[in-house]
Amino acid sequence: MNNASQPRQCILTPEQEALILALPKAELHVHLEGSIRPGTLLLLARRNGIDLGCRDEESLLALYEYQDFRHFIQLYGTLTSALRQPEDFLLITEELGLEAARQGTLYLEVTFSAAIHYRNKGIPFDEMMDAIAEGAERVRKSTGVEMRFILDMVRGYAPEYCQYTAEWCVQGQDRGVVALGLGGYEPDRPASLYAEAIRWAQSHGLPFVPHAGEAVGPEGIWDALLFNPMRIGHGIRAIEDPTLVETLRERHIALEVCPTSNICTGCVACWEDHPLRQLWDAGVIVTVNSDDPPMFNTSLADEYRRAFSIFGFTLEELAQLSLNAARSSLLPSEQRARLVERFQAEIARLGL
């Protein structure tokens, strides 16, 4: 697919670069398994006796040239096979949080596909979740970065695994789980196929935040809206339907936009075609996110840089993007208000 590392863009001045890095950030759409550093992935594969088909970082990075979205999903499954022990999940959680701190990120909502590891490898949910929660607590103590988690159902899995995921969401609330998600290969797998598990989780107080409108058009988002989600993962194909855009705006539904991911997977053909700016100008609540940062050669700070240099966002608009993410978090209302106040104070200190 297109090489997303070389878009046409303006050059940031050192002052602009410093402000972007210093801007307080929240990331709402980042996958735990997709955030594994290449070196860590190779280490885990060797330690657990898993053959990834490559022996060094250079050959691993060469795999990250996706033919299409389905190819990306297939590779994602291969990479997750390296995770076998609870300590593996602790390690990658801690590394994700520490890297977030270096990006100026104060808060993350991390998507975790527990069903993959339970179905394919038999790893008990509690073992995984305890390890992830310990990693998050280490990050909080060492950096102050807060991490919460979204457990996503995997499109194409049997209904019992979706129900397991919904139940795990309820069980994991004391360890930072804040929502039920839905990810995986989207075509022919709308959210309504998983209605029973979604409704069950919602009846137990868990919000639903699905991926939709990424590899499928507006119909995928309309279907997801049947469940009144607070946010939509990606959602970029909404731009094809003016009525849907207006609905998102009126209902204050935030989009978790991942520009570099969309280019790398071929969901958007080129940077000029990406609708981030159009959605913003239409009054939709948008946030920017990294999705699977090492797999797309990006970071959250890079996504802010590209919003500025490719899409023409001003520094003040970047600050608003940042506030959008804080305000769209799934924290309890009092905690969310404190997070927003913290962001506002830091943005004011930066003169934005």
99 noted as active-site residue: no
The conformational region for residue 36 under phi > 0 = left, psi -120 to 50 = alpha, else beta, is beta
**If you write DSSP's letter for every residue of 96-160 in order, what string do you get?**
HHHHHHHTTEEEEEEEE-HHHHHHHH---HHHHHHHHHHHHHHHHHHH--EEEEEEEEETTS-HH
- Report the length, in residues, of the chain: 352
Alpha carbons within 13 angstroms on the beta-carbon side of residue 6 total 3
The two three-digit tokens of residue 327, written as one number: 């305000």
159: Cβ–Cβ under 8 A, 6 or more apart, which residues? 194, 196, 197
Q: Which among 94, 214, 256, 303 is annotated as catalytic?
A: 214
Active-site annotation, residues: 214
